[in-house]
Structure 1
């Protein structure tokens, strides 16, 4: 391949360069451009959009664990290992429910305190 001025200019145009890139001061107090280009705004939006689905999915897992733990207790037929396994599943599911419940209400309180709208 012969390297000439046209080849170099085509290659130069494909490189990511500083032409057209604006760098904003992240310490600006007005916040007009800093949050827009820093990416922090996008991460918060993604989390706030996904959080209700994560909570619903955790609720489905909780329901499944309660059903499976109860089923394990029913079919244990007095086997102490199976009874302990079923009880452990139910206790784990209830602890998970408590964590989900507390996380939900912490999010509600934070929304009220900071005036946020997180999709709940």
Structure 2
């Protein structure tokens, strides 16, 4: 059986448009790289905005906590019983120190033997 080989013919171009010349691999890779870098830049920009929002929220929370701590410290300082509490704490510290002195065993004395 003999087969007839027909030359490969390119597909006809659409009417009204000139056929695009073939592109080199370098040209195609440039398009792909720029597309990827654009996507990466957009993704990084989104992450950066989110990070800035999160940091702003954390800064607000920190500032609120610092203000609350300051307010509580002022309340403690203005408490009329504070002086009495401080005196009692000092007395407790003194009694603990005295108890440590009493319960600490004296250093052992060693006998000196005559030579």
TM-score range, shorter chain: 0.3 to 0.5
- Where is the helix percentage greater, Structure 1 or Structure 2? 1
TM-score, scaled to structure 2 = 0.35
**Structure index of larger Rg:** 2
Q: TM-score, normalised by structure 1?
A: 0.34
